[in-house]
Structure 1
């Protein structure tokens, strides 16, 4: 649900399917990751309250049914804290049944906020942040132009957790290709162990038209993993994830990019998830043909 006619596409996490999508920025302030083409068609800009308020006004007629709001586009946390607090206050005022506000956030935006600012945002109602860590490996992060080191990427996630917000972390299987697959899995597991997210999802690399990584593949400069190798990388990643006993991290790999859906909680379901990875690896090994674009042509 959104009430906006501004330029550019609208994206949201799968779990925000029933949310009111409030676009507080247009595009992505970084917009240089080589694996992503989500916001290449628009120029990034912050939106004014004059643009934001009418969206909320139009949503008010459905106010009794709106329980969740997702702040779009690519990294709403780039907004000044004062603007975000103003938006959160407006939402509380106009949507009486509101229970949760969430957003995407980039690592540099998270690091730019002080602990006090993040605490204020959490107390004002920003309860969940979706963070695309993608990898915990320095070479992979540099290759895909994520804009941060592994140390910075970990510190960004830790800052959100420390503020008392829920953190939904995303990583991309296959992002290191064949060259960096082993270290991508190992260092990403170490990053997850250090961050201790509340939710953790594994997506599978998709080579989107218009992305530099697809161009590198087509030029023979990037070797993609086969489906069975993707399953093996996920198995290696899960093997090295060691979250505290008694904790609860919701794990999913049910994105459209994934070859098979996996679901469970860590650390409780680790053995079950590893067995599923082994089974998936065996099943995918029988494929004689596979699509290096992971069936995506857009």
Structure 2
């Protein structure tokens, strides 16, 4: 498959049979295309009881951009991610996807969620359905694809994420890394405008993390718009166009990866990086 990112030809890489240790993976990070705002959050606030988990959040994500959200536990990262497809409602503010406000409920919300792919840390596959059926289901139920078309697309996507030989197995028969790659294929099957990843590697054994990150890095190279909540700093350095650092429910700092990791502006970010990069 020929890949073109921001006008540059990127030859397809040969499939790897053995995952290599995750250090720094080189990813071509071309300039984001001319302003084409896809996800826009304005003055977003969210409470859980007395806890103000999102405070006056302003964030714009451009089509084709890879934004990695990092920060200490409890900073609001996952809540932010989950508000974008209304898995969590907001108390005030405005969220728009491709220029349209988030619908509150009903068929319009279902259509939105089809346009906004979500990959969770716990996979969330249907245990009683095969891998192939998991990837076909949304296409048939939401996108109204016929069964043959859905199966062809599902098999192609399973091959794309490196688990085509697992198509007829059930999720429990797969490793955690394989299940997460199936979850990515399932989200891609809906042809989403943007993909949200909520700590997609945090539930995986260390040796399985890289196989999932490699799939995500390939999506980044192909120009998929992505919002990634993660603790994987190597991925943030190599694949992100922008790093968003959160603490205490606020966006404290935003910067390109090289600037953020080499010269963070805020004391809060400096403290965070000193703890995770020097131990």
Q: Give the shorter-chain TM-score range.
A: 0.3 to 0.5
Q: TM-score, normalised by structure 2?
A: 0.33
User: Which is helix-richer, 1 or 2?
Assistant: 1
Higher RCO (CA-CA < 8 Å; seq separation 6+): 2
Q: TM-score, normalised by structure 1?
A: 0.31
User: Which is strand-richer, 1 or 2?
Assistant: 2
Give the greater-gyration-radius structure (CA). Answer: 1
